[in-house]
Amino acid sequence: MKGIRLLIGTRKGAFVLTSDASRERWDVSGPHFAGWEIYHLKGSPADPDRLYASQSSGWFGQTMQRSDDGGRSWETVNNEFVYEGTPGTHQWYDGTPHPWEFKRVWHLEPSPEDPGVVYAGVEDAALFRTGDGGRTWKELPGLREVKGNLWQPGAGGMCLHTIVLDPARPGRMYVAISAGGAFRSDDGGSTWRPINRGLHSLYQLPDPDAEVGHCVHRLAMHPSRPDVLFMQKHWDVMRSDDGGDSWREVSGNLPSDFGFVIDVHAHEPDTVYVVPIKSDSEHYPPEGKLRVYRSRSGGGEWEALTQGLPQRDCYVNVLRDAMAVDRFDPCGVYFGTTGGQVYGSADAGDSWTAIVRDLPAVLSVEVQMLP
Amino acid sequence: MIRVLLPAHLRTLAQVQGEVTVQARAPATLAGVLDALESRYPMLRGTIRDGLTQARRPLIRIFACERDLSHDSMQQPLPQEVVDGREPLLIVGAIAGG
């Protein structure tokens, strides 16, 4: 790999940061789609020139974009996301039934093999798939059949924000929903089961150990060990060693186990990163100190990574899709903040620099390795 | 020809500058203008009216001849000044900040 591209989605457009393998100097381009919310953009692992972007606006709704030349030009593709059948209702904030309504695309997960296949996680929570590069989108409705009537929105809306494809087992995939929980399919998305055993959501759900309804913020997996999953839940950092069949808490010595992002080192499956946030009502780092926490033991014991990060008066948030790792050695780690900074570490988190400081609020960060 | 002025973000999306013109079937209605507009610029589908219900999106306003037509029926004939091209049909993003 000769270079790297960071794809940054923000509240007011997309930015592309490009560097060579040294990751010392970055070229910044953007804003692309200026003024629009770019919840997520991601490149196809099968074709680095193929990018997909979710472009949305409170005024103009959802638009989908596709590039076939690495982001130099874009083509508008289909923006119709129609739920299969009669969508029914989910729970509203006050516990009353509320009709399912499409609002936006939160996350795009291109297939590792076929640049024309992409999964889209949307709000109100559902999973869609295109097999023709975005010209048509079709829901995988089996997911909503898993007690979707009991799911409810979190503060950011009822969103399907995480899609993880198992690289070892064709057909196995995971999704996470706020606030529905985590779910697994073993048949390419046709049928699903909730995988929330071991999650405990006291003061969030009437039954803290409910089968569905948990506010899962993010899942992460190392491709070499796909049965091991890490989860940042609303509160609690969790780990599963059996593909989500059961979970145990690995928050350990974190200063707060609330947070949004979680990710795994590219070459060390037991090295995990989180960014603790003070609480669900105070969305900023504890004590005003922006710290990434790293565990080298698969959770449980965590060390604060502070070099290069603000250690006073810092009150930004790091949203759930805003952390990513590269595959260079040493592994690079990147995250974006609601204050518009994108921080990068080229030494697995030991030290950090702000690649850019003054973007609009960052919604998502993705890494694309360039051949 | 009916003159339509799109909001800036939709002009960018449609890759047009200034006003666009469309031919709508008589009697010209807002629904007919939007049909013609979306046929010529497919990337605008779903941005002015909901792609499924065809209802005007909540933060879109329709002005013409110094009148707010946003709440009129989409099947109602448009003002004659718009039909004969003396006045443009303004599609506007509501004052919503952000």
Mean pLDDT, chain A, integer: 97
For B43, the domain range is: 2-93
Q: What is the pLDDT of residue A168?
A: 95
Chain A interface disruption, residue of B11, B16, B38, B43, most A CBs within 10 A: B43
Structure tokens at A81: 């996301």
Report field, pTM of the whole predicted structure over 0.90: yes
Question: Nearest C-alpha of chain B: how many angstroms from A54?
Answer: 14
The nearest alpha carbon in chain B to A11 belongs to B98
In a domain, B38, yes or no: yes
Whether pLDDT at A263 is above 90: yes
Query: Is B47 within 8 Å of chain A by CB?
Result: yes
Give the rounded percent of residues in chain B with a pLDDT score beyond 90: 92
In a domain, B52, yes or no: yes
In a domain, B98, yes or no: no
Q: What is the pLDDT of residue A155?
A: 87
Whether pLDDT at A252 is above 70: yes
CATH number at residue B83: 3.10.20.30
Q: What is the pLDDT of residue A115?
A: 98
Contact B93 A59 (CB under 8 A): yes
Under 8 Å between Cβ of A282 and A276: no
Q: What is the pLDDT of residue A98?
A: 96
The residues near B28 (Cβ < 8 Å, ≥ 6 apart) are B2, B77, B78, B82, B83
pLDDT per residue over A184-236, tens digit each?
A: 999 999 999 999 999 999 989 989 999 999 999 999 999 999 999 999 999 99
The nearest alpha carbon in chain B to A83 belongs to B52
Binning pLDDT at 50, 70 and 90, where does residue B98 land? low
Q: What is the pLDDT of residue A57?
A: 96
Q: What is the pLDDT of residue A306?
A: 98
Chain A residues touching B53 at Cβ < 8 A: none
Q: What is the pLDDT of residue A371?
A: 87
Give the rounded percent of residues in chain A with a pLDDT score beyond 70: 100
CA A74, distance to chain mean position in Å, is: 23
Q: What is the pLDDT of residue A203?
A: 87
Q: Looking at chain A from residue 49 to 108, which residues have their Cβ under 8 Å from any Cβ of chain B?
A: 57-63, 76, 79-80, 82
pLDDT (average), residues A233-253: 98
pLDDT per residue over A266-323, tens digit each?
A: 999 999 999 999 999 999 999 999 999 999 999 999 999 999 999 999 999 999 999 9
Whether pLDDT at A324 is above 70: yes
Q: Choose the closest CB to B51 out of A58, A59, A80.
A: A80
Number of folded domains that form chain B: 1
Whether pLDDT at B97 is above 80: no
Query: Is B98 within 8 Å of chain A by CB?
Result: yes
pLDDT per residue over A117-142, tens digit each?
A: 999 999 999 999 999 999 999 999 99
Chain B residues touching A36 at Cβ < 8 A: 9
Binning pLDDT at 50, 70 and 90, where does residue A179 land? very high
Give the rounded percent of residues in chain B with a pLDDT score beyond 70: 98
Q: What is the pLDDT of residue B13?
A: 96
Whether pLDDT at B26 is above 90: no
Q: What is the pLDDT of residue A249?
A: 98
